[in-house]
Amino acid sequence: MDIQLEKKKGLRPKHYGYIALGAIVLFAGWKLLFAGTTSTFRTEKGRVSIAGVVDGKFDDFITINGNVAPISTIYMDAYEGGRVTEKLIEEGTMVKKGDIILKLENMALYEQILASESNLALKQNDLRSTRLNFDSRLLSGRQSLATAYYDLQRLERNYQQNEELYAEKLISKEAYLLSKENYELAQKQHEIISAQTAQDEQLSKTSLAGLDVDLQRMQKTLSMVYERLDHLNVRAPADGQLGFLDAEIGQNITQGQRIGQVNVLTDFKIEAEIDEHYIDRVKRDLSASLERNGNEYPLRVRKVYPEVRNGRFRIDLVFTENKPETIRSGQSYNIKLQLGASNDALLLPKGGFFQSTGGQWVFVLSPDGTEAIKRNIRIGKQNSRYYEVLDGLQPGEKVITSNYDSFGTAERVVLK
């Protein structure tokens, strides 16, 4: 009979070889997998910009470009419309306040003036006629009052005499009563004429006062129309330089139309635009300066405009002391705007990488300079030359500072 042999349990020597071989295969696969997950970009070292990270003094300023402008500009709008008949002053000419720049004509306004003058003349004639009528009536009333007064005095004496004679039985009762009735009638007539005269005087005062007010109103209206006529002469609103003039002889100008401006040249300001990144840090009264021919001229931020257009906002700066002697409107200057005090910091030179990464990461070179590895960093403030590094880099390390767009999604850059 055959005897069945039991299989030995546990690891035998040949199994150790299998395990070692499997471990080697797994390690090789892991290495291949790891190597495949790290994307690499290869480029020549001379085609990238490299800068070192250093400790230094961070000056919290930015450099901006500004243009010189007059300290103020006064716009000229047409008070009255009309056709340009004369152009007395050309653009760029220095003017004094009140100088006539343009002359206009407006036939409708001329007709209105004639109508106003005619109405005023009629009103003056009406006032004269009314005044003459009132004067004549008052004179007649005073004459009647005087006659009534003397009649009253005469009839009063007659009544008193007849009263004494009647008491002594020297005249008849009828004669006495007649004199009494005549006296009483004269009293009533005098009262009526006196009241009528007083009423006429009061009416004359109120009526003539109303007519005088109407006449003054018409005269004021006519004077305003004459002012409108003077507005056909377009005058300089202030001393300065005539900046531009949008009007030619024969051109029709509408009322309210902007036709020019006068630049006040008693002083200058500088208008500049700044990236919206700094809008929370730029405030009024910040210090600034510009350099011209080896001299530095201090400036101050006078106004910050809140509106942002195309990613930029505007500010106005004024000189706080002296200004360049040759300064002219329209000149362009580079201005150093101080945003804060200087402080010690870790500095990274500015470069195109910021547009690619937003300052969140950079490629840091290895000590031998043959490759660069992607590393997250944190950047604080920036000026025209440096970024302030808050975290992620050490002094002496070198960084690729040129643009990263060509690197794609690479996390490692090999430099040949």
CATH number at residue 296: 2.40.30.170
Tell me: do 196 and 289 sit in the same domain. no
Alpha-carbon torsion, ordered 338, 342, 348, 354, to 10 deg: -30
- 102 belongs to a structural domain: no
pLDDT of res. 221: 75
Select from 338, 368, 388 the last residue of a domain.
338
- 3 belongs to a structural domain: no
The answer to whether the predicted template modeling score (pTM) of the entire model surpasses 0.75 is no
Average pLDDT per 10 consecutive residues for the chain, totaling 416 residues = 52 62 66 58 89 88 89 87 90 89 88 79 76 79 86 89 88 89 90 86 76 76 78 89 88 90 87 89 90 88 92 92 84 88 88 89 92 92 86 92 90 89
By residue range, what is the domain housing residue 76? 63-80+265-338
Tell me: do 111 and 223 sit in the same domain. yes
Tell me: do 75 and 124 sit in the same domain. no
